[in-house]
Amino acid sequence: MSFEKINVEDLEFSPVKAIGENWGILTGCSEEGFNSMTVSWGSAGVLWSKPAVFVFVRPGRHTFKFTEQGEYFSLALMGEGMHEKMAVFGKKSGRDVDKYAASGFTALNEDGVFYPEEADTVFICKKIAATFITPDWFIDESIDEKNYPNKDYHRMYVGEIVKVLKKVK
Ligand SMILES: Cc1cc2nc3c(=O)[nH]c(=O)nc-3n(C[C@H](O)[C@H](O)[C@H](O)COP(=O)(O)O)c2cc1C
């Protein structure tokens, strides 16, 4: 299977469906290696006049080390019907398991930025900003108790989209 580079402007997708319903695989890449995990929170759009991806990583994730240390990450949109196949990416930690071996997925890379070959669409992103969510963000105060009983607030990463890869079908 191969991918072609497409213009970000030509991409038609619903972030709610593609990320929230079908789920994505986020891969943090550093000089030490890479790690991938399932994400269902996030989006893509525009910030500071740049096409950008927004992802949210709790500090306890093994992936966090890679999103923190690395300059690039990828967000892979997996398409419909992939939940079962990608289960290990959201249930197990890369500290304990080789998720690619366990899932049967294959890690490819674009200029050293890794992503699963099983993806439908891949955003290759350069990290341009990051901040921890803090409780003072919340105007709706129920967000805190519903999502952060352990006070493990996500770190939000903004990635400038430097390439979009689309699976050739
Ligand atoms: C459907 C689904 C969505 C998830 N979304 C996120 C997310 O957006 N951010 C996050 O930090 N963890 C999320 N997780 C949890 C991580 O994928 C999970 O804890 C994973 O095992 C972490 O792996 P790691 O320790 O190798 O990084 C999600 C899990 C599932 C099943």
pLDDT in tens, 16-25: 999 999 999 9
Angle of CA points 112, 116, 118, to nearest 5°: 145
Ligand 1, residues at Cβ distance < 6 Å? 23, 35, 37-41, 56-58, 61-63, 90-94
Runs of H (alpha helix) within 1-157 = 15, 62-69, 87-91, 99-103, 142-147
For the chain, percent of residues with pLDDT exceeding 90: 98
Count the domains in the chain: 1
pLDDT for 29 equals 97
- In ligand 1, which atom is closest to the CA atom of 90? 17
Report how far ligand 1's centroid is from the alpha carbon of 38 (Å): 5
Radius of gyration of the chain (CA): 15
Question: pLDDT-based confidence at 113, cuts 50/70/90?
Answer: very high
pLDDT for 1 equals 72
- In ligand 1, which atom is closest to the CA atom of 99? 26
Q: Is the pLDDT of residue 102 over 90?
A: yes
For the chain, percent of residues with pLDDT exceeding 70: 100
What 3-state DSSP class applies to 86? Answer: coil
pLDDT for 82 equals 98
Pocket test for ligand 1, best of 23, 27, 30, 39 (most atoms within 8 A of CB): 39
d(C-alpha 63, C-alpha 48), whole Å = 26
**Which residue CA neighbors atom 17 of ligand 1 most closely?**
90
CATH number at residue 98: 2.30.110.10
Q: Range of 79's domain?
A: 2-168
**Which residue CA neighbors atom 23 of ligand 1 most closely?**
93
Tens digit of each residue's pLDDT (9 = 90 or more) over 28-86: 999 999 999 999 999 999 999 999 999 999 999 999 999 999 999 999 999 999 999 99
Tens digit of each residue's pLDDT (9 = 90 or more) over 114-125: 999 999 999 999
**Which residue CA neighbors atom 10 of ligand 1 most closely?**
57
pLDDT for 169 equals 83
Question: pLDDT-based confidence at 132, cuts 50/70/90?
Answer: very high
Report how far ligand 1's centroid is from the alpha carbon of 73 (Å): 15
Q: Is the pLDDT of residue 8 over 90?
A: yes
pLDDT for 93 equals 98
pLDDT for 142 equals 97
